């Protein structure tokens, strides 16, 4: 039977890679008797990391849904990857969670991944608790980790526990909320409760008082009672903490050793007793308005993740936001108006699924083989037109072109990528006619490597990553006049056209061309940005007006394949002011060719300039690797915009040409041992330097020469 919303907890585990999320979840599953034995990362047998590639890499790459029953609660647990390359998995999981559990490695403190995840926590306004894990590590330092976290994330962090004997012999936790010492057996599990030693009593009492005060601050009546009596009873304390967590005014900090299975039960107890249920959270945001949680109302579910499994097909993970979902229900997809029948509903523990007859509002489950519904879709009872606000997936950060050895496989390869895109909205496929390449855009090199693995392993197709071309633009910086005569005689009708043009750089608001009589003017808004402005300035009938369109077309042909590098041209004004025609041999084709060639020659005379795309790059890294990161940026023609501290990390902003960013994700990971992150977005087009322009033009000329020789 489905749980009441008040007894459901939806928690998402977040944290930097190797902070112990998966191992802690494994301990929770074991302690709650959801599994009979604990797996491990090294043994490649955890419930969460069940895919072959995760077991090979010993790291979570996809989010996974699990659940435990603890006391009166059903706790839905979502494990997430630690690498920001898989930010889509993290964000989709946060969307449906009511509590974040942010794990910190006691030996490493606040890491760069923690900083980035905190930005997402703030964006989602997600109530959060911190767990300082790996207190059994020989270099564990709980106090330093707590100090770093407090300095970075503020005084809202309130320690509820601390390890008494951290390090290799760790087995004792002092709990300042309950004012008790937990001592664990050597194999972990259920601890023995003991009195706090006299030497620790003052510290524990001070922490307890801080907890009570933080709880009282969330309710006027509690604050009044606290001032009168100096304390709160257990019920009052729980009420204040629940309110504080729900509105993110306090962040409890716990400690544990997931590897030794010490502390997970207490964390689950706190989640059961204090942490917000779906009922305690604000109404879900819709594209228009909000949707309050209501178990008895019409049904609405939101698909937050889609995953394809061998022999199973597409699995759709969802949260019930309203009503009660039952087997046999008919729902309508608000995005595409398609009907979906609910054939079977499952609750999940990794790849293991159990059929249930219903799920109530607030609960999370999965279905298989929905016909036409995908991530970010809302399915509702017929007649209920609403759409839950979509997950805000980020723009890609890196790009790579790809090809396949067998060209006949290209169509299959594109289809395989489209299938993966249905599961992973952070992956973007670009089939660029402009660059004559197929390009994949992703979040980082690891992200693209996993895509490659899946294509080759699951679809049995070969894919090769190659360097992507750069979408340069060409323009001019001076005015020039030129003419071109096209004359061809080869038996029968000939071809004749002569065109005189003035070519100028175009900018908004410039006056009409001086000294010319304008007959008509055409402005082309170019698909790639900028304009071609075409003036017809012929007087006295030197060229018949009927040839205007042919000359215009000829010029546009060269705008599409620029004279310097074959790139698109932009922001050019062309005035046709003179020419000649022949009563028999002049035709549209002749004037089109003359238009193309006169534009090409004029372009070269008008001081042409190649423009390159420039990105704004933001890097988060530690002081220790700052020098290497800056040195690498200088080698990439970067312009440093500024440096600032962000917590105990350094933030660097720079302008870098896109052409210099190939393989940057791998380089940064290597320079920082995986302890730096970056984001990047397009900023502007900027002129390349003369030496770069000369090289690009020479490379293009050589390429064309080779093609003609072939």
Three-state SS for 558-575 is: HHHCCCCCCCEECCEEEE
* Cβ atoms 622, 637 nearer than 8 A: no
- 271: which 2 tokens? 């989640």
Residue 709 has a pLDDT of 44
Is pTM beyond 0.85? Reply is yes
Distance between first and last Cα of the chain: 73
Q: Do residues 284 and 291 touch, judged by C-beta distance below 8 A?
A: yes
Residue numbers of the chain with a pLDDT score lower than 70? 1-2, 220, 225-230, 232-233, 490-492, 705-710
For tokens 């302890």, the residue is 675
Helices 664-672 + 623-634 axis angle, to 10: 150
Q: Domains along the chain? A: 5-215+248-280 (3.40.50.300), 284-381 (2.40.30.10), 400-463 (3.30.70.870), 474-606 (3.30.230.10), 610-692 (3.30.70.240)
DSSP class of residue 391 equals P
Residue 442 to residue 427: CA distance in whole angstroms? 5
CB atoms within 10 A of CB 510: 11
Q: Which residues contact 409 (CB under 8 A, 6 or more apart)?
A: 461, 462
pLDDT of residue 491: 64
Q: d(Cα 539, Cα 535) in Å, to the nearest integer?
A: 12
Phi, then psi, of 107 in degrees rounded to 5 = -90, -20
**What pLDDT is attached to residue 710?**
42
Residue 283 is classified by DSSP as: P
State the Rg of the chain over Cα: 32
Find out whether 474 and 545 touch, Cβ atoms under 8 Å: no
Task: Give the three-state DSSP class for 284.
Answer: strand
Backbone dihedral region of 369: left (phi > 0), alpha (psi from -120 to 50 degrees) or beta?
left
Largest separation between any pair of C-alpha atoms in the chain: 113
Q: What are the start-end ranges of the E strands in 422-472?
A: 428-432, 437-442, 464-466
Q: Is 459 exposed, middle or buried (0-12, 13-18, 19+ CB in 10 A)?
A: middle
Report the run of H or E that residue 252 belongs to, with start and end.
strand 251-255
Instruction: Indicate the SS3 state at residue 473.
Output: strand
Give the ranges where 194-353 is alpha helix by DSSP (H). Answer: 198-216, 220-229, 234-246, 264-273
d(CA 96, CA 86): 17
Number of residues in the chain: 710
**C-alpha closest to that of 270 among 105, 128, 60:** 128
Predicted pLDDT at 226: 63
Encoding tokens for residue 602?
Answer: 């004029």
Nearest to 313 by CA among 260, 377, 362, 369: 369
- pLDDT score recorded for residue 143: 97
Location of structure tokens 């005060």: 213
């Amino acid at each position: 039977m489905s749980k009441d919303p008040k007894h459901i907890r939806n928690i998402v585990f977040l944290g930097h890679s190797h902070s112990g999320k998966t191992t802690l979840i494994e301990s929770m599953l074991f302690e709650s008797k959801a599994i009979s034995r604990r797996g491990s990362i090294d043994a490649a047998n955890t419930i969460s990391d069940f895919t072959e590639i995760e077991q090979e890499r010993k790291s979570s790459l996809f989010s996974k849904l699990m659940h435990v029953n603890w006391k009166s609660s059903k706790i839905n647990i979502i494990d997430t990857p630690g690498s920001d390359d898989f930010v889509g998995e993290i964000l989709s999981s946060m969307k449906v969670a009511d509590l974040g559990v942010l794990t910190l490695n006691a030996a490493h403190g606040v890491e760069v991944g923690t900083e980035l995840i905190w930005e997402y926590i703030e964006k989602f306004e997600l109530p959060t608790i911190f767990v300082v894990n790996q207190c059994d590590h020989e270099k564990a330092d709980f106090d330093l980790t707590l100090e770093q976290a407090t300095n970075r994330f503020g005084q809202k962090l309130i320690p509820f526990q601390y390890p008494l004997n951290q390090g290799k012999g760790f087995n004792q936790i002092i709990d300042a909320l309950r004012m008790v010492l937990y001592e664990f057996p050597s194999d972990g599990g259920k601890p023995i409760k003991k009195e706090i030693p006299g030497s620790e009593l003052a510290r524990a009492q001070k922490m307890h008082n801080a907890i009570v005060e933080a709880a009282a601050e969330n309710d006027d009546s509690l604050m009044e009672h606290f001032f009168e009596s100096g304390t709160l009873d257990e019920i009052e304390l729980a009420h204040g903490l629940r309110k504080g967590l729900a509105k993110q005014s306090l962040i409890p900090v716990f400690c544990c050793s997931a590897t030794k299975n010490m502390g997970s039960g207490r964390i689950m107890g706190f989640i059961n007793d204090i942490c917000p249920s779906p009922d305690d959270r604000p109404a879900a945001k819709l594209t228009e308005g909000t949707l309050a949680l209501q178990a008895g109302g019409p049904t609405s579910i939101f698909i937050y993740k889609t995953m394809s499994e061998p022999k199973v097909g597409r699995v759709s993970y969802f949260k019930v936001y309203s009503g009660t979902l039952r087997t046999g229900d008919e729902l309508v997809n608000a995005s595409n108006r398609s009907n979906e029948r609910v054939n079977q509903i499952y609750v999940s523990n990794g790849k293991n699924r159990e059929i249930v007859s219903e799920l109530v509002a607030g609960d999370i489950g999965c279905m298989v083989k929905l016909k036409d519904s995908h991530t970010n879709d809302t399915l509702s009872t017929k007649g209920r037109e609403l759409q839950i606000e979509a997950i805000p997936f980020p723009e890609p950060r890196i790009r790579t072109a790809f090809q396949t050895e067998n060209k006949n496989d290209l169509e299959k390869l594109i289809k395989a990528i489209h299938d993966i895109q249905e599961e992973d909205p952070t992956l973007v496929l670009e089939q660029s006619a402009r660059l004559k390449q197929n390009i994949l855009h992703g979040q980082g090199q690891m992200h693209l490597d996993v895509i490659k693995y899946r294509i080759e392993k699951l679809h049995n197709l070969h894919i090769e990553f190659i360097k992507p071309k750069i979408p340069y633009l060409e323009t001019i910086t001076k005015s020039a006049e030129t003419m071109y005569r096209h004359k061809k005689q080869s038996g029968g009708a000939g071809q004749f056209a002569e065109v005189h043009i003035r070519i100028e750089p175009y900018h908004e608001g410039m006056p009409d061309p001086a000294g010319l009589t304008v007959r008509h003017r055409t402005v082309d808004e170019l698909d790639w940005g900028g304009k071609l402005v075409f003036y017809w300035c012929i007087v006295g009938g030197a060229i018949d007006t009927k040839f205007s369109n042919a000359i215009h077309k000829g010029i546009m042909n060269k705008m599409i394949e620029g004279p310097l590098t074959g790139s698109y041209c932009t922001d050019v004004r062309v005035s046709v002011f003179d020419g000649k025609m022949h009563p028999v041999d002049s035709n549209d084709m002749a004037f089109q060719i003359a238009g193309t060639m006169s534009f090409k020659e004029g372009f070269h005379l008008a001081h042409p300039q190649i423009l390159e795309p420039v990105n704004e790059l933001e890097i988060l890294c530690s002081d220790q690797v700052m020098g290497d990161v800056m040195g690498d940026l200088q080698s990439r023609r970067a312009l440093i915009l500024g440096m600032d501290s962000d917590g105990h990390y350094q933030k660097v902003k720079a302008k870098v040409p896109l052409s210099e960013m190939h393989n940057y994700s791998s380089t940064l990971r290597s320079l920082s041992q995986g302890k730096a992150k970056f984001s990047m977005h397009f900023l502007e087009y900027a002129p390349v330097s003369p030496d770069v322009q000369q090289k690009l033009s020479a490379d293009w000329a050589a390429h064309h020469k080779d093609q003609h020789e072939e």
